Chain A
Amino acid sequence: MATDLETKGYITAITERDMATGDMVLNIGPQHPSTHGVLRVVARLDGEQVISAEPVLGYMHRAFEKLAEQRSPMQNTALFNRLDWVSGFCNEVPYCIACEKLAGIEVPKRAQVQRVILFELTRLASHAMFCGIYGLELGALTPPMYGYRDREYALDLLEMCTGQRMHTNWARIGGVKEDFPEGFYERIPPILEYYRTRIEQWLEFLIDNDIFVKRTRGIGVLPVDVALDYGVSGPNLRASGIAVDARKEEEYLGYMDYEFEVPVGNRGDCFDRYVQRVREMWESCNIIEQALDDLPPGAINTGVGRTFKVPAGEIYIRADGPRGENGYYLISTGAKEPYRLKIRTGSFSNVSVLPYLLKDTYLPDIVAILGSLDFVVGDIDR
């Protein structure tokens, strides 16, 4: 008190003593409209300012890795759809690639291209939903409806090809299950056109909106080195300013044959993360178009049977999903079931950076930042 008097002056010191407030611990979640599932954030608040916040994970732990140890490859494919359920197909593919690489199976080109098309369609669906949902985090009630409506078009295509909208269970070891049905090619260009116009409209609707900019510019700035330290991946990392994309770095699914840019942000704030995903939707449209041109005739599966046993060995495969990088570390001992399958999901690492991001922000910013990381709790907790 004496030092306060000296440094700050009598009136300031007295005022601060009288007006001092205590901290409040506020549990955001696990049941909450805004945490994308059952994520709990324990926030220490001083009024509206956040002193510290840390996420508590595990409310949705379903023991996927243990379950995978007792399931054959086809059953595992059906299971991994449920990891990041918003983009179901994107979780099946890396597992199939892992088994194929271990077994040395060459996947026919046509199957690769079909996988790319479905993968990017799923990415479009996921990002379209994100663009809408993020508006809801910030309080605009209309964008999520637009997001869901846009997502429907991609889901319709997925349903036409695979039979299911989200949990497609379509990738198989050696390719995909079946070829496209008649009429599939004709339906794609109008839908891509639609997505491209919708991207323009998102730019008008939210990105040009002053209030949106005010709420997201400069909020939750994630510098690149911090992001790399925490293992952030996917659009979050790219928005921080560095072009790390597993599609360009790993040679899988023939992505190196397609020309697409990896968009990059420059400030790493929530606004950049939002625009990043909008730009990635655009790039996904480009990829799908190129893939359609690239579709060679041929088989879509090398015909691996039901009793396929994955040869012994270990391998790590990573793929770039809409949430971040999906990695599957597969250790096999020659049986149908993996001996150990470690799933590295993008959302888990993305959420680990929350204590850093949420320091010294306001309570509403917590929600804005959580939303901009675009995680799915099933992906975090597996």
Chain B
Amino acid sequence: MSESLLLLPVRGVVVFLVALLSQIPLLYGLLKISAHQMDRLGPMYPGRFHGIGQPIAEFVKWIQKEDIVPRTADAPVFRLAPLVALLPAFGVFAVIPVAPGLVGAESELALLFVLALSAVGAIAVVMAAYASQSKFTLVGGLRAVGQIIAYELPLVLGAISIAMLAGTLSLTEIVEAQAIPYALWPFPFGAIAFLLFVLSCFAEVLWPPFDMPVAESEIIAGPYTEYSGMRFIFFYMSEFAHVIALSAVGTLLFLGGWRGPILPPVIWFVLKVSAFVVFFIWARFTLPRLREDQLQKFAWKLLIPLGLVNVLGIAVFKVLT
């Protein structure tokens, strides 16, 4: 007992570092993959070898920018919003098992914890939007909160389907229950749940095709317009952390986590998460964005009924087998 208490801060720091440092390859991968999609090269100079030092360069650049708080903004809320966005995103990493036994905090309610924390991001966006006291941020913030709330449900429904199939909310046990990844079997319930989860992931992190709140061509940067420097980057770090966290949860739930022949579990996990992330980046840079009412209709009229039907189907499946 005392041993685990002593290890607690160590675990915390390790989880924090993992959450932070995993964004470096993500950022680099994003820059390079998006660049090659656009038929260009991306960063090449920083770090000498094909721009490998670019994420660090970006961090240094952002950290030395001026910290501007608009005069009419609500300063305490304005300052607090990035933290409210960042910390839950980092918190999710605490319960993600990378390999059997290799987890920040083993919990039987890991899935619930993850889903709950992902939803806290919505508050941060609204805080940012309203505190900035600007029309563009207001529009962006309203869109964001509507979108996040709307897409929470398909996310939860997709995750719940898997929880029902595995019979547990613990992420480790869900992986162990997957002899065949849930995305493939049972068909179509697993596949539908996978689809719901993936689409909701895009919407939760406000990425195209669901990036109406941050629509750069209309409202500049949506709720983050008035931010600059580190605060701005906190939002984007929370976004990236969310991407990695949700990809990790997605592999655990649907792709079999660390299971795979020959290679050690950690390697499989990393490979699968990377595949997920690459898919996200690929789709992010290709697709135009859906209009706000279109994406709301898509969520409420298509995804949520589909999710409910899926849950029903899984219930029937479970009863029959």
Contact = CB atoms under 8 A, between A and B. Distances in A.
Nearest to B217: A34
A135 interface: yes
A300 B281 CA distance: 52
Interface in B279-315: 284-294
Interface in B114-145: 135-136, 139, 142-143
A286 to B, nearest CB: 27
B54 interface: no
Interface in A209-243: 209, 211-212, 214-215
Interface residues of A, number: 32
A26 B208 contact: no
A364 B20 CA distance: 34
B209 A211 contact: yes
A64 interface: no
B48 interface: no
B287 A364 contact: no
Interface stretch (A76-84, A140-148, A324-332): A140-148
A199 interface: no
What are the 8 closest A-B residue pairs judged by CB atoms, nearest first? A139-B289, A145-B38, A138-B288, A34-B217, A140-B288, A139-B288, A364-B291, A141-B285
B285 A142 contact: yes
Contacts of A45: 139
B71 interface: no
Given A34-B217, A48-B139, A211 B289 contact: yes
B211 to A, nearest CB: 6
A289 to B, nearest CB: 26
User: Which among B40, B287, B290 has the greatest number of chain A C-beta atoms within 10 A?
Assistant: B287
Interface string A26-40: 101000111000000
Interface in B202-216: 208-209, 211-212, 215-216
Contacts of A215: 288-291, 294
A362 B292 contact: yes
Given A48-B139, A138-B288, A211-B289, 17 more contacts: A26-B135, A48-B292, A138-B217, A139-B208, A139-B209, A139-B216, A140-B285, A140-B286, A142-B38, A142-B285, A142-B286, A146-B39, A209-B287, A215-B288, A362-B292, A364-B215, A367-B217
B132 to A, nearest CB: 14
Interface residues of B, number: 31
Contacts of B211: 139
A176 interface: no
User: Which among A141, A365, A366 has the greatest number of chain B C-beta atoms within 10 A?
Assistant: A141
A363 B209 contact: no
Interface of A: 24, 26, 28, 32-34, 45, 47-48, 135-142, 145-146, 149, 206, 209, 211-212, 214-215, 362-367
For the residues of B in contact with A, the DSSP-based class is helix
Contacts of A366: 218
Contacts, number: 88
Interface of B: 34, 37-40, 135-136, 139, 142-143, 208-209, 211-212, 215-220, 284-294
Contacts of A212: 288
A177 to B, nearest CB: 34
B6 to A, nearest CB: 48
User: Which among A135, A145, A211 has the greatest number of chain B C-beta atoms within 10 A?
Assistant: A211
Contact of A34 (B38, B143, B209, B218): B218
Contact of B288 (A28, A33, A34, A135): A135
A138 B284 CA distance: 13
Contacts of B139: 26, 45, 48, 363
A143 B29 CA distance: 20
A153 to B, nearest CB: 13
16 contacts: A28-B218, A48-B293, A136-B217, A139-B209, A139-B211, A140-B208, A145-B38, A146-B39, A206-B288, A211-B209, A211-B287, A214-B291, A215-B289, A215-B294, A363-B219, A365-B291
Contacts of B291: 214-215, 362, 364-365
Contact of A146 (B38, B215, B289, B290): B38
A331 to B, nearest CB: 42
Contact of A33 (B37, B143, B209, B220): B220
A139 B209 CA distance: 8
Contact of A137 (B217, B285, B290): B217
A140 B287 contact: yes
